[in-house]
Amino acid sequence: MRLLRPATLLLLTSLRGLAGELAVPDDASIQLALRLLAKQHKAAYAVTTPAGNLELARLLIDAASTDAAVRYAELSEGERLAIRGLDLALAQSALAKRVLAYDVDEADAHLALIKAATATFKTDEQLDNVVQAVAQCYAVLEADARTDKEAPLVALATAVSRKLKDKDRQQALKDQLVTLKAKLAASTKAQDELQAKILAWAVPKQGTQVGNGECTDFVYDAIELNGGQRVEGYTMGRRLRPGETPRNGDLLRLQNVELPDGTVTFPNHVALIVKVVTPTKFECLHSNWVNVKTVQPITFDLTKPLAGTWTVYRARRAK
């Protein structure tokens, strides 16, 4: 029989007490929360007051929810503390540093902040800041032409609207969402058209030599001659964030990658993704491969490369 520490028993009691309040009544969620606690034991043992245990329980139950797309537990400790202190601007500042370091999907991070702030903030004046954060998150999605995070963002915006007591504020948020949705739809359509144009230009080039036959000649022309921004170095547009799914028409960069057949992409090689088979396997077009200068098809399975790194980029539209 395994004995539970007193602190764990206290937390378990808090979890069971909160289960009904947070609509997570099943023991499986509580057990998952306790497993998360084991991973965060330092934070757990730092909690000394019943109120503190209650707050940690809220964090853990939220992390154990079925909505895995946006979890409070994805926030850093500094961001969580800022939210508890009702300082959304400070939390966003801390978040910006992680975004710049590519440690987090920017959209997911904004969603996690909005969710945490919505659960914590009480007054309409406080929630006004959350409404601004919703608009900022939409701006991120619009800039990146992403719709994969729109549904959870709309759900969070709806939760904010329900907490607002002032009817005029509720209506203003609804009106704002209509405009934001339309702008995102237009951005996504333009991005789809760009990637379709890149593919339509590139596919007929099979068997021909583009420029001097370098891999960059083919890929960079595919981008720049079809409405994409000029490539700087090997930055072929927007670098996809961790967990973001590649799409047909994205660009692949291989850095010192050693493939299972012994081929090494030294030091860099770029290719156009024609078809995404899995998030780590791509049917591509490329050139200058084993001294063949013409455009050729190839399948890169990067599930388990022997060495090196690879990155997927998405072309940005020229301004």
**Could you read off the pLDDT of 183-198 as tens digits, one per residue?**
999 999 999 999 999 9
Quick one: pLDDT band at residue 169, thresholds 50, 70, 90?
Answer: very high
What pLDDT is recorded for position 74? Answer: 65
| pLDDT the model gives residue 84 | 79
Instruction: Return the higher-pLDDT residue of 110 and 21.
Output: 110
Domain chopping of the chain, boundaries: 206-314
Which pLDDT does position 103 carry in this prediction?
Answer: 66
Architecture of domain 206-314: Alpha-Beta Complex (3.90)
Tell me the sheet residues that pair with 232. Answer: 235
Q: What is the pLDDT of residue 75?
A: 76
CA-CA distance, 166 to 128, in Å (whole number)? 11
Q: Is the model's pLDDT at 232 over the cut of 60?
A: yes
Sole residue written with tokens 């007929």: 204
- The predicted pLDDT at position 46 comes to 35
**pLDDT, averaged across the chain:** 80
**Coil, strand or helix at 82:** helix
- Is residue 19 very low, low, confident or very high in pLDDT (cuts 50, 70, 90)? very low
Helices (H), 203-214: none
Environment class of residue 114 by beta-carbon count within 10 Å: exposed (0-12), middle (13-18) or buried (19+)?
Answer: buried
Peptide bond between residue 25 and the one before it cis (omega within 30 degrees of 0): no
Average pLDDT score over residue span 289-317: 93
Q: Give the residue-averaged pLDDT of 82-105.
A: 79
* CA–CA separation, 299 and 297 (whole Å): 7
pTM: 0.71
User: How confident is the model over 29-52, as a mean pLDDT?
Assistant: 42
Nearest to 137 by CA among 73, 203, 194, 183: 183
